[in-house]
Amino acid sequence: MIDIRLVRDDIGSVKAALARRGVDPADIDRLAAMDTAARAAVGRRDDARARVKVISKQVGEARRSGDVAAADDLAARSRAAGEEERSLNVVAEAAQEEVRQALLYLPNLPAADAPDGNAPEDNVVARTWPDRAPEYTDAQRVPHWEIGAELGLLDMERGAKLSGSMFPLYRGFGARLLRALTSFALDSHSDEFEEVRPPTMVLTETMVSTGHLPKFEEDAYHLERDDLWAIPTAEVPLTSMWRGDILDESDLPLRLTAATACFRREAGSAGRDTRGLLRVHEFDKVELFAYATPEQAPVLLASMVARAEGLLQDLGLQYRVLDLCAGDLGNSAARTFDLEVYAPGVDQWLEVSSVSWCSDYQARRANIRYRLSAGGSPVLVHTLNGSALAWARIWAAIVETGRRPDGSVVLPGVLRPYLRGDAVIPGPG
């Protein structure tokens, strides 16, 4: 969440920044009014609490002096003041919670260098790879769900039989390809990132810390009996590993990577791009995550984007990097770069990675701080996260790009060590 002190001290700048994200300035005025009311309620509660302490002290003094009548009178006044304090405390806590809820729904302030714009079409293409776009053959213009069915790699019908629509089932070489991609990526990141295997089910507080709750509750899978949530990304548990803790500045940057299944209801996308692997409820992904100081964050953001690009180049997939405009940023992000691969069989650019700097927005929700080496009070860390990579659409792009006229699929060379040396998925027959 953003710092409420910014609203108190420079409401104009907050309005201007969030207006770039489509937030109505009137919402900020309402937040400021709620905050003023909450602070006043806290003041009244604290005044009453102070009166209780004063009267309680006077009761003790009267009893020590033997003035029983005065002590009894003061005790009655103390009880009445205590009742008033408890009543005022209920009002104050409710007012503070109202402010907190408003802050939980409010998005992060966009970075000053995030492009202006209101929608995906306003995103800026920062670069493409390769410089000269490949020419694709008719054999590569077949959608991956047809290739997967023909070669026994992907069985969407049996996946739906088991779990419902948009839950893919990979078979044979298709499942091996998925596993190879995960191992390849984890090995690629092992030079700087500590591998973690976090739980797949997390507490509500863990989801709140990243900004996925309460705003995006309808897109998440909730196990009501246990009050646990299926993670939509490994970013969720990784962000909360040090929730409520204080790190040392010397520990930063702290880099983590994790391979997990990810679960998303995609509640707002019914009937849109739902064929094959274009949009699914469950997918595997390797995540990069980092805690950093504000000074370290820009370099880390660039390096995480470069890592995702490096994987795509190693896989030989055409891609482009989008610099997301302020109006298309995710709720927690201050700056984001999306990577999209071109899938010739569906003739679409498919998002396969989103790398974001979240400033101190998530750390404030999770209360993650670090001690400055120079001394002083602990300050909030900055968090960064990114996919490197999300496999469902990568899998689709690989089988479409690698398809040959005989129906076989040539695989990226970097995956051969993870496929027992196999270089080609045999064609039909």
User: What three-state secondary structure class fits 165?
Assistant: coil
Predicted local confidence at residue 270, as pLDDT: 60
- Please give the Cα distance from 47 to 41 (Å, whole number): 10
- Please give the Cα distance from 138 to 403 (Å, whole number): 9
Is there a domain that residue 115 lies in? Answer: no
Is the pLDDT at 405 greater than 80? The verdict is yes
Calculate mean pLDDT across residues 189-211: 98
Is there a domain that residue 114 lies in? Answer: no
User: What are the tokens at 257?
Assistant: 């990577």
**Whether residue 266 sits in one domain with residue 341:** yes
Range of the domain at 259: 120-425
Is the pLDDT at 398 greater than 70? The verdict is yes
Is the pLDDT at 272 greater than 70? The verdict is no
Cβ neighbours of 124 (radius 10 Å): 14
Predicted local confidence at residue 63, as pLDDT: 92
Predicted local confidence at residue 132, as pLDDT: 96
- Please give the Cα distance from 309 to 97 (Å, whole number): 42
**Whether residue 96 sits in one domain with residue 152:** no
User: What three-state secondary structure class fits 291?
Assistant: strand
Is the pLDDT at 121 greater than 80? The verdict is yes
CATH number, position 142:
3.30.930.10
pLDDT confidence tier of residue 429, bands split at 50, 70 and 90: confident
Average pLDDT of the residues of the chain: 97
Predicted local confidence at residue 268, as pLDDT: 60
Domain boundary among 70, 105, 140: 105
**Whether residue 230 sits in one domain with residue 180:** yes
Is the pLDDT at 271 greater than 90? The verdict is no
pLDDT confidence tier of residue 58, bands split at 50, 70 and 90: very high
CATH number, position 18:
1.10.287.40
Is there a domain that residue 153 lies in? Answer: yes
Distances (CA, A) of 236 to 187, 240, 332: 22, 7, 12
Candidate from 178-187, 208-217, 264-273 with smallest mean pLDDT: 264-273
**Whether residue 168 sits in one domain with residue 66:** no
Is there a domain that residue 112 lies in? Answer: no
- Please give the Cα distance from 68 to 180 (Å, whole number): 83
Is the pLDDT at 322 greater than 70? The verdict is yes
Q: Give the pLDDT confidence of 22-33 residue by residue, as tens digits.
A: 999 999 999 999
pLDDT confidence tier of residue 269, bands split at 50, 70 and 90: low
Calculate mean pLDDT across residues 281-295: 98
pLDDT confidence tier of residue 57, bands split at 50, 70 and 90: very high
Cβ neighbours of 163 (radius 10 Å): 13
**Whether residue 190 sits in one domain with residue 219:** yes
Peptide bond just before 130 cis, omega within 30 deg: yes
pLDDT confidence tier of residue 273, bands split at 50, 70 and 90: confident
Alpha helices (H) along 109-262: 144-151, 156-163, 173-189, 204-210, 235-239
Calculate mean pLDDT across residues 157-167: 97
CB 232 within 8 A of CB 262: yes
**Whether residue 295 sits in one domain with residue 155:** yes
Is there a domain that residue 333 lies in? Answer: yes
Is the pLDDT at 196 greater than 70? The verdict is yes
Per the structure, the count of domains in the chain is: 2
**Whether residue 190 sits in one domain with residue 64:** no
Residue % of the chain over a pLDDT of 90:
97
**Whether residue 413 sits in one domain with residue 279:** yes
**Whether residue 316 sits in one domain with residue 204:** yes
**Whether residue 393 sits in one domain with residue 288:** yes
- Give the predicted TM-score (pTM) of the model: 0.94
Is there a domain that residue 110 lies in? Answer: no
Calculate mean pLDDT across residues 246-260: 98
Calculate mean pLDDT across residues 351-363: 98
**Whether residue 154 sits in one domain with residue 90:** no
Tokens 């509660």 -> residue = 45
Calculate mean pLDDT across residues 117-143: 97
> Amino acid identity of 173?
F
- Please give the Cα distance from 370 to 378 (Å, whole number): 5
**Whether residue 368 sits in one domain with residue 335:** yes
